[in-house]
Amino acid sequence: MFQAIFCGDSARLQQLGQQYCDTNNQVSALLCLEHVFIDTPQIQFMLACDLSTSLKTFSLYAWLLHDVTLVNPCTDPSMQKLFGFRILSENSFFIPIGTFLHPAQREYQEFVPQGNEDGVFVSGWELSQIFARSLRQHLMRKISQENEMCRQAKAFSPCSTFAVYGSCSRIECPLEHTPVTGPESYNIRVKLHLQQVQIYQSLHSIEYRQELLKQRT
């Protein structure tokens, strides 16, 4: 896994992410897929079958993030390992500079943590709040970016003229020109939309009503 991360081997990380998830090693699975989706894949010009594969992997990533937002980091050693904070006592924790959680603590005015040049000290309650909020925002941001890419993806907008007549006279047609080969073509289109719905369902329980309502209009 770490060799694949170091080399930026996205294909291998996707494979490992699925394998770790199948063996219920969610921490390693999330770490792999986080590196896969550091940058949102350029899916605008993917064929429908390739886009479906990409959405399947992204859906797994989104649900892993969703599940982690519900974890209590104060009592879960795997979260300490994944996010790099340290347990000092029963109700005292240290978040080092350079970790995922460190920038988040500066965004919330109700927290006034003490710190030094190496990081900040927080209580258990503060850690839990910083942890949950930063991961929710991270998930929202990732899904928002992915959804914007899907808006631009031709696979979601096949050209009906081309599908019916096999040709299109529209200059620089922005829609996808893919021959309709039977029920499979229809089924893959339906699958793409269902996959996108599944991805958005991962936001249902983490207070993202404003964006959800916007998507319904």
pLDDT tens-digit series, residues 91-136: 899 999 989 998 876 666 566 667 778 888 988 988 998 898 899 9
Return the higher-pLDDT residue of 13 and 111: 13
182 Rama sector, left if φ>0, alpha if ψ -120 to 50, beta otherwise: left
Return the higher-pLDDT residue of 168 and 216: 168
What does the block give as tokens for 159? 């050209």
pLDDT tens-digit series, residues 134-180: 999 899 899 988 888 888 887 887 787 787 777 888 887 877 777 76
Q: What is the DSSP letter of 157?
A: S
**pLDDT computed for residue 147 by the predictor:** 87
CA distances from 138 to 13, 131, 187, 204 (A): 20, 11, 32, 15
| CB-CB contact of 133 with 140 (8 Å) | no
pLDDT tens-digit series, residues 171-207: 878 777 777 666 777 788 889 989 988 888 887 766 5
**pLDDT computed for residue 217 by the predictor:** 46
What does the block give as tokens for 107? 């965004």
Q: What is the DSSP letter of 43?
A: -
Nearest-angstrom CA–CA distance, 113 and 92: 11
What does the block give as tokens for 67? 């599940």
The closest alpha carbon to 124, from 134, 116, 132, belongs to 132
| CB-CB contact of 121 with 178 (8 Å) | no
**pLDDT computed for residue 205 by the predictor:** 63
**pLDDT computed for residue 15 by the predictor:** 93
